[in-house]
Amino acid sequence: MCCLAALLLTTGCQTATSLKKKSKKAAAVNTEPPHGENWNEAGSVSLPTSVGTRNSYSSVNVSLPFIALTFDDGPHPVNTPRLLDILKERNVKATFYVVATNAKAHPEIMRRIIAEGHEIGNHTVTHGDLTKMSNDQVRKELRDSHTAIVSTTGVAPRTMRPPYGAITSSQKSWIRNEFGYPAILWSVDPEDWKRPGSSVVASRLVSGAKPGGILLVHDIHAPTIDAMPSAIDQLLAKGLQFVTVTQLIAMENKG
Ligand code: NI
């Protein structure tokens, strides 16, 4: 009994030592985090790298007819997979600003979003108004959401969208510095959450979309998904092409 305890203790020690060695080795190859202290508890995943030059974007100045279609507040167990089928049929890539509670509830949908070439951004955990929170509360919202996205997909989000579009210029600045995220707003909002009907959502998207535009809809609403085949087909017919938010920002005309 005593020997067994000793053996277990030894084994435990050896495991701890070898883990320590491993983590030391991993630390040696890691580059310094780009912004302040290493807040990312996942540790082994890369921190977000810088995206674009501005603290926020509601559209991007581009020379070619590219737009970004963004879906907020999911993933939803029924509507998001149905949307992914529609996007896949048309080879359209989109960006999903997920709420972390939904991300944790539907990790398989999170992984499908990434596997099919889409992008995921940070839309906080509680979907509260950031302008009414302390910096520490906002920091926790973004960190916890970041961690939930990384732990479900293995991919770090590179942009954030403030719930309701509510964010101060000071918050944009320190969030950019600390997390590397630009705040992504939008140039077209068909107000699909007011449920105006699928054809209205589609026609508002089509009439509002211009090159460099960022289109906002919500994949938690079934009528929004119903609007997508027609909206996407009409936008493609207008000569517009779909890219993710970070791809659109990468096309930004500077100067
Ligand atoms: Ni939202």
Active-site choice (106, 118, 218, 221): 218
Q: How confident is the model at residue 4 (pLDDT cuts 50, 70, 90)?
A: very low
CA distance 217 to 224: 7
Spell out the domains of the chain, with CATH numbers in brackets: 48-250 (3.20.20.370)
Token pair for 61: 């100045």
Question: How much distance in Å is there from the Cα of 21 to the middle of ligand 1?
Answer: 43
**How sure is the predictor about 254, in pLDDT bands with cuts at 50, 70 and 90?**
confident
Distance 73 CA to ligand 1 centre (A): 5
| Strand boundaries in the chain, DSSP class E | 56-57, 66-72, 95-98, 119-122, 183-184, 214-218, 241-243
Alpha helices by DSSP H, listed for 30-78, are none
The H-or-E segment that residue 120 falls in is: strand 119-122
| Of 20-24, 58-62, 112-116, 154-158, the least confident | 20-24
Please give the structure tokens belonging to residue 114: 């990434």
CA–CA gap between residue 94 and residue 102 (Å, rounded): 18
- Residue 218 among the catalytic residues: yes
- For the record, the structure tokens of 137 come out as 């509360």
Specify whether 129 is catalytic: no
- Residues listed for the chain: 255
Percentage of residues of the chain with pLDDT beyond 70: 80
d(CA 153, CA 147): 10
Q: Which candidate in 72, 73, 192, 226 is catalytic?
A: 72
